[in-house]
Amino acid sequence: MAFKFQGFDFLHLDSSFSEDELLVRRTARDFVEDNLIPIIEDCFREGRFPRELVPIMGELGFYGANLQGYGCAGMSNVEYGLVMQELERGDSGLRSFVSVQSALVMYPIYTFGSDEQKNRWLPALATGEKLGCFGLTEPGFGSNPGGMTTRASRSGDEYILNGEKMWITSGEIADVAVIWAKLDGEGEGSDAVRGFLVETGRPGFSAHGVHGKWSLRASVTSGLTLQDVRVPAANLLPGATSLKAALMCLNQARYGISWGAIGAAMSCYDTALQYAKARKQFHNLPIAGHQIVQEKLVWMASEISKAQLLSLHVGRLKDADAAGHQHISMAKRNNVWMALECARLARDILGANGITEDYPIMRHMMNLESVKTYEGTHDIHTLILGQHLTGIAAY
């Protein structure tokens, strides 16, 4: 029997949110309660992405929420973060879908695209009428995307793309794929990583499902094959001239994940707290009255509060255009680790019940194993921060 979420605001942080920020959070929270919570366990068990929610989230302005114009909601980065928090309180898979659509597809078109590309794609992506995916990772290159072997060669007014992408969220449902490839040719610009918009119906493009996942089961994960896929030269993202452009997209997604992880942790903590108050063992007393159980709850409440402060501060920096990628790495690394630890402690407090789908904890725990790995693994973020502190890259 799942519990109704009670909210979590130990530090009275609500007093530092504006009316607009609280309204955005309320809207996202209500959406999750009304639309996602009732179906998520079935979706996860069946390995089904809840596609019926796509247009509703478009109406609510969740896609490209922190972008301006083109039908986007024009939210602040803090508001966008609060949406991500609420979505991932429901399930990391739905947050992943929105992250990819927003940070990894709309953001690069918005930031690196031509006017024609922006006008063609952004309004339709903002409503969810069109869906996108982001192809950076390859079977042989995950943490080190700079080693990619996908190639693009110029042929008259077209580029021809060849390569394999792996672990691509929304790959099979996407209308457009942002594909990162190295440019063939001689002289300046050759071998540079460039970004291309590839309509997924083009001959030579195919997507296949990655099955057998025990994590993010309510999210579509795909492998992509590009075999002599021809795209017009106008599909090249003109402003994305190196790997740095792809890494800039990751900053947007990693920032959202730092908030999302707080949502998953809140769900685990809230479930464990309510369960511990209700469950009685020894002398007919609630297990919440035992010191060891309290220590676990205190650890969770403390770490969630610290994570909230971290993401809120990075969000305020981002809104002031003052967030460095090292700040975002710290928030992603810390908050996902924190959420996974909360899931493990919460699962422990629920005893045997904790392993069942009657409660959301084990699902969050399994999802968070992916979240720890994607968008830069925990250890890669350690190295990014280590490089920032010492000036020495240890990859």
Contact 11, 308 (CB under 8 A): yes
**DSSP strand pairing (132-135 vs 176-183):** parallel
Task: Give residues 94-133 in contact with ligand FAD (rule: CB under 6 A).
Answer: 100
The span from the CA of 185 to the CA of 188, in Å, is: 9
Using CB under 6 A as the binding criterion, the count of chain residues that bind ligand TGC stands at 25
* Residue 325 sits in the site that holds ligand TGC (CB under 6 A): yes
Distances (CA, A) of 66 to 77, 181, 371: 6, 27, 22
Q: Which is nearer to ligand FAD, 135 or 195 (CB)?
A: 135
Amino acid at 268: C
**In the block, residue with structure tokens 């007014």:** 157
Among the listed residues 377, 385, 387, 388, the single contact to ligand FAD using CB under 6 A: 377
Residue 141, number of CB atoms within 10 A of its CB? 16
* Residue 251 sits in the site that holds ligand FAD (CB under 6 A): no
The span from the CA of 78 to the CA of 257, in Å, is: 13
Q: Which is nearer to ligand TGC, 118 or 254 (CB)?
A: 254
* Distance in angstroms between the alpha carbons of the first and the last residue of the chain: 46
The span from the CA of 328 to the CA of 357, in Å, is: 32
Using CB under 6 A as the binding criterion, the count of chain residues that bind ligand FAD stands at 21
Task: Give residues 194-253 in contact with ligand TGC (rule: CB under 6 A).
Answer: 243-244, 247-248, 250-251, 253
* Residue 12 sits in the site that holds ligand TGC (CB under 6 A): no
Find the radius of gyration of the CA atoms of the chain: 21
- Binding characters for ligand TGC, 349-388, by CB under 6 A (x = yes): -------------------------xxx---x---x----
Q: Which is nearer to ligand TGC, 4 or 244 (CB)?
A: 244
Q: What is the DSSP letter of 352?
A: G
For residue 146, the partner it binds in ligand FAD, ligand TGC, none, with Cβ less than 5 to 8 A by kind, is ligand TGC
Q: Which two tokens stand for residue 3?
A: 């519990």
Question: Is 375 considered catalytic here?
Answer: yes
The span from the CA of 261 to the CA of 256, in Å, is: 9
Active-site annotation, residues: 375
Positions in the binding site for ligand FAD (CB under 6 A):
100, 134-137, 142-143, 167-169, 216, 221, 370, 373-375, 377, 379-380, 383, 395
The residues binding ligand TGC (CB under 6 A) are: 96, 99-100, 134, 136-137, 143-146, 169, 243-244, 247-248, 250-251, 253, 325, 374-376, 380, 384, 395
